[in-house]
A and B are shown apart, each in its own frame.
Chain A
Amino acid sequence: MSQTTAPAQPDVLAVAARRRMRFPAALRNPLAVTGTAIIVIWLLLALFAPMISPADPLAQDFDRLQPPSAAHLFGTDQLGRDVLSRVLDGARVSIILPLLLVVSSLFVGTIAGSIAGYFGKVADEVIMRIADLVFAFPTIILAMVIAASLGPSLTNAVIAMLIVSWPAYARVTRSLVVVASRSEYVVAGRLLGNSPFTSLGKDILPNIIAPVVVLATLDVGTAILLLAGLSFLGLGAVPPTPDWGAMVSDGVQNFSSWWISVFPGLAILTVVLAFNFLGDALRDGLDPRTADAVKGRAL
């Protein structure tokens, strides 16, 4: 308890300066800045891909398997398509979909976890046992099985990934809700006549959301890898849709034409790394349980 009330009394000028900057403390470290910058660049590239692509990502207009050159910075693939254009266009699938996926599993997982944690008893048992059931399988294998049985398509891949990824959020949320719901302010709110949902939404959620968001940020990298993995196995993006995972797979067929798979591979690497940097920094900054430890160590 002493720790939460312990922050050193900053002098007035520093407080004022911090207010003016309005830049979250969590993001004020080199890795976070690098991560954020890379993510912003990729999101802009994804957004403006059709405008900046040198060629139509689907057009098979060029000579096959040309190495990188001035005309084709990233070379051309086995069907004579411009790899640079496909990497840029692929960002729209390979970054945006995992982001949507993480948001939806955050949503589903948080609701399920809150219900389990707040109401307990039967709801808790049923929801958490389902979560345990999912946890019992290796993630990628379960996602493959679901995607394969639904048939390859991006929608089905996202559904498969949603099914395997919500339990992590449910479990974290549940444990936080169980603790928070015993707090005096929550009990007081209930005694004042708040419904369970008001209580969850107004009293509990704001107090537990930070760790869950941190988890989500850290999860974006994993989700990008999972979608790329499914596409690599032919269970995600349907050709000819450009997708980084599927492009890496194309490169495996033409092993010595390294440029087909190296560039989408680098794209995956940079984005996943950037999200992990950001997630780490957010965790250090926002999660009260690690914040103090990190501050102590850093200073």
Chain B
Amino acid sequence: MLSPLRRVVGIVGIAVVATLGITACSAGSSDSSSSGGKSVVVDSSFDLKTADPNREYETTGSIVAKALYETLLTFKGDDVTKPIDGLASYEMNADNTVMTLTMADGHVFSDGTPVTVDDAVFSLQRVQGIKGNPSFLLGGITVAKTSDTTLTLTSATPNPALPYILPNPALSVVNKKVVEANGGTATDADGAEAYLNGASAGSGPYMLESFDVASQVVFTKNPKYTGDAPAYDRVVLRNVQGPTQKLNIQAGESQVALDLNPDQVAEVGSSDVTVLSSPSRYMIFLLLNQDPSVSAITSNPDFLKAVKAGIDYNKIVDLAGDGSVQPGGFIPSLFVGAIDASDGNQHDAAAAKAALAKSGYKGEDVTLNFPNDITVQGLSLQSVAESVQAQLKEVGINIVLAPAPVATELDAYRGGKETVGLWYWGPDFPDPSNYLAFTPGELVGLRAGWAAGADSTVTDLATAAKAAVSTDERQSAYAALQKAQNASGPFVPLLQPAQNVVTSKSITAVSLNPVWTIDLAGIK
């Protein structure tokens, strides 16, 4: 009777020993590779879909594409207010309709062939042709080769944002010959994605060693890279959730963690790690529907004033932790045109109560809709909603929370059916023109029931901002637009949550950027 039992115990014992052995081996190997000082492990919470740069439009996808490829223009460090030369230098014509790019000499792909204007034209046309997620970045733009070293991007309407769009890693330049040989075309018949998920065809600091969309991406140094050589020969980018990232960085299993929320950062403590907190590119805002058929209460201008003055912005910033800020207007603090929080809405309970009395509001319930299953930089929108509810209650506004999964709530938001909504906006490119969506009759404006012509002051300022050419002109035009929106518009910018990057003490520098989050080659 005992022998089967004994056998089971034996098998279990062997399995346990084997497992321990394997774990010990794998731990040992990662230790040895990192102790050589040439390998670095980066933990990130993946939203990865592809390693094809012209198809990706995800946060993780941008990190991957940035490491493998180069773009025609780029940004230096985290300064997204000024595009600089990448594979090319640029010149805009006077009315911002034609951009001429001149290819820089000396850049080569990882197979040794030089980067030419043909590669650049093919890559940009491929982004347009495959009709993927990033294709809209080049919507309405004609890409043409004009000489052996130049190409032009022509748009029908003035497009001052174009230099800010081109640094997006989705507009990376791929090796035309290699991609075409593997089924690549500049049409939606393109078949090179599978190849590009297994190997890279770019001129970036790293080459693709292995790619697993769900678990990890491994990069090795590109020996032909013409820029400053990266400090690490090998980078492992792993898919790890926030709480585990915290444990890994504390245990020394990883050297960089990208997705810790402010509370986790506070728990890690600064003794064994370095914490970099900065405002992220996301802007969390409240919208109050201006369509009287949706709500007679929220479309009342005095009620709107009461809400804007009733919210205690500092409390919300506290909730979001170190590094987060209140944006002055709907443009985040990182971009051209941003205004300071002191020029934005201010908490003033007395003013809120006075405005509320004037509005004729009698304590009716007002529904606040928000998605309860998404977090922005580790901060759940539900916490923000509960905080707003408690603050508005103090000035006498009764908010009823109506959480829903984002998949169901998105329809109501996009259809402009929400009375009060709590959402966030991540910019498609770091240019203030992206935020013209928050004006009457535009994409987000309509979601707040703000029809074209509903507010001629704001519309006029938006038109002026769109037409502004020089950086200074744009700065002041967008500032005026936001101040007008703060005064009469339906959007209440609440918060820019922090972007926290935690590194082990062995890392001396990381290069962060709102467009591609982190430049792996900049880890030192």
Contacts and interface: CB of A to CB of B under 8 A. Distances in A.
Contacts of A196: none
Interface residues of A, number: 19
B312 to A, nearest CB: 10
Contact of B263 (A60, A234, A239, A257): A257
A238 B408 CA distance: 16
Contacts of A255: 243, 264
The 10 closest A-B pairs by CB, nearest first: A255-B243, A234-B372, A60-B390, A240-B386, A256-B267, A239-B401, A239-B386, A254-B263, A79-B386, A253-B380
Given A64-B319, A79-B319, A151 B404 contact: yes
Interface in B340-381: 372-373, 375, 380
A152 B400 CA distance: 13
Interface residues of B, number: 26
A146 to B, nearest CB: 14
A254 B372 CA distance: 15
Given A151-B404, A152-B403, A240 B267 contact: no
A274 B401 CA distance: 33
A159 interface: no
Contacts of A238: 400-403
B398 interface: no
Contacts of A151: 402, 404
Contact of A65 (B263, B382, B401): B263
A148 B405 contact: yes
Contacts, number: 55
A78 interface: yes
A60 B384 CA distance: 12
A78 B390 CA distance: 14
A239 B390 contact: no
Contacts of B372: 152, 234, 239
A60 B387 contact: yes
A209 interface: no
Nearest to B372: A234
B130 interface: no
Contacts of A254: 263
A239 B382 contact: yes
A239 B401 CA distance: 7
A58 interface: yes
14 contacts: A58-B390, A60-B387, A64-B319, A78-B383, A79-B383, A148-B408, A234-B405, A238-B400, A239-B401, A240-B390, A255-B264, A256-B243, A256-B264, A257-B263
Interface in A233-278: 234, 238-240, 253-257
Contacts of B263: 65, 78, 254, 256-257
Contacts of B243: 255-256
Nearest to A152: B403
